[in-house]
Structure 1
Amino acid sequence: MTKPMQLLPEWAEQASVLMAWPHASTDWHPWLNAIEQDYIALACAIATEVPPLILCQDQAHRAHIQGLLQGRCKHDPILAVSPYNDTWCRDYGPITLDDGSHRTLLDFCFNGWGDKYDAELDNHINQRLNEHWLVPLQSVNFELEGGSIETDGCGTLLTTEHCLLGSNRNTDMNREQIEALVLEKLGLNRTLWLSEGALLGDDTDSHIDNLARFSDAETIVYAVCADKNDPHHQHLSAMEKQLQGFTQPDGRPYKLEPINIPSPQFDENDKRLPGSYINFLILNNSVIMPVFGCEADAAAKTTLQRCFPGKTIITVPGNNLIRQYGGPHCATMQLPKGIIR
């Protein structure tokens, strides 16, 4: 008997990973040369396993990216021209469901993280990539970002109240309606709500992928702040207490793996940036994590290696990515096997 369609966990076998390359028309303009070097590192890390599907703004941009990556990647990237506003394709890329024998893609509405930024082009990306999809793409008239949801692969949704229930998304719906719709569309049966936890400088309204992630069906890896003088300490300690109260579907507590946030990162105006090691990307045989050139990097890598014992931990620079408040996970969307040509 075919089971209902259900959101695939990130560790499901992948065929590709979606990226959107920085260009001069994006907010990356002041740091374009620096961020392109980091995107080269990220693309090449992904390409050790699968060919990345890279969005390009136009044909000239495509030729530019092709030149940057020529001869660098184990698997040649797929370069797709489709104009976009922002590079954080985690939040507007397709979301994959599976019923054991078939797969489908969901295309949720994207409103620029609560109408903070222009997102008209981003909101049409999945439809414009139709020629690349092997499976149906279903539009969902509901505002949801990929970085705001996590699943254990066992019917559980892990998310934050601040984002999913915020006043700048789906304003005509209440908590019960939002939860019911999200669970139905994703094929999940329960929600673990975090009401605590936030990072200074985050403009997503506390996306879960900077705070707490499943590394497998039984383990949650999450951000902590050991420095009691850091304003993050109180918020992340409160989040930790909530996580300690969560249980698996069978009633057992989750295994919890804390990772201390990096030393404070600031922009040129002394604004705190949302540095987090939790913004890692799971691939088939490796995990890509950001590093910030600080003492906490090594301990974070050790913890992730313990959480993913069968995978290689690959580090990429994180300092430039957080200038626009993201990381490797925000910059990508995994494309599971069987959905892409």
Structure 2
Amino acid sequence: MNPSLRFALPALLALLTPMAQAAPPFSDTAVLSQRADPHATLHSDGYYYFVATVPEYDRIELRRAKTIDTLSKANAQVIWRAHARGEMSRNIWAPELHHIDGKWYIYFTAGRSDAPFDVRLYVLENSAANPLTGKWIERGQLKTGWEIFALDATTFTHAGVRYLAWTQRAAGSKEHATNIYIAKMAGPLKLDGKATLLSRPEYKWETTGHKVNEAPAVIIRHGRVFMTYSASATDANYCLGLLSAPAGANLLDAAVWKKSPLPVFKSNPAASKFGPGHNAFTTTPDGKTDIMLYHARNYRDIKGEALLDPNRHTRARAVTWRADGTPDFGAPGQ
């Protein structure tokens, strides 16, 4: 062999190696123990800012790290505690951190001391550049248009419009069933106009244990708006459903949204991962890989009420995309 070719061959083979063979940043990895309803924001400063529901349901913690898999080593700072009584005193659930118009906002769910499960949506605000510093101010309840059980708010922008998607019982309903709603926002603290009902529990996999559609999360890719949501009771039956709409459509028109008739992410006994759900989306630092955070338990059987079992653990996995532009979430633990 020509000596020059012998030395050049390894470099040439490296160039010819298909990119598809490159390993993803992770396939499915544990992030934090006993943290449910995870949410991570990748900010312009290069940090992931992470919040989640703590087992005691009594506070909001915030931590940051340069990578998803080092969040477990980051210091957890308590930035807000539940009130001793009255509003925002019980069942502090599902915080989400968003940076909007130069300020930080945390949307969260809370009940009252006299009615712990009669939960509503609330907002905190912080004007500091780093949300671990500065002062968090209570901005009160985020009104949805009717006063009844409401939780799990998320916000996103599309085509220059900010939206809120959340979970709520239907106005005037006595049935313990939750639906997914969407509305435009007039700034980060209030809605602009009426809500649109996007999804109600109707399939068997949405109504096992409880009739539940909750915890919407949005990712916009390949000309479509995808919205995952969680369904059924928060035990091993918990799973993810999927709604989608064309990116150019009127997102407040329920008719443009298509609902998957089957769950897109569910318990995987082969990997001992049960009840996966309440997910959030982010990306790798280079923006090239979409990441889904979710929680799951490592066992199927739960003693007593599922909401009192603390072992919903945060995990993260890379999202892959099919040829038709739809997301493939795979199976938890694999």
TM-score in same-fold range (> 0.5)? no
User: Where is the helix percentage greater, Structure 1 or Structure 2?
Assistant: 1
Q: Which has the larger radius of gyration?
A: 2
Shorter-chain TM-score category?
0.3 to 0.5
Structure 2 length as normaliser, TM-score? 0.41
Higher strand share: 2
Give the TM-score of the pair, scaled to structure 1: 0.41
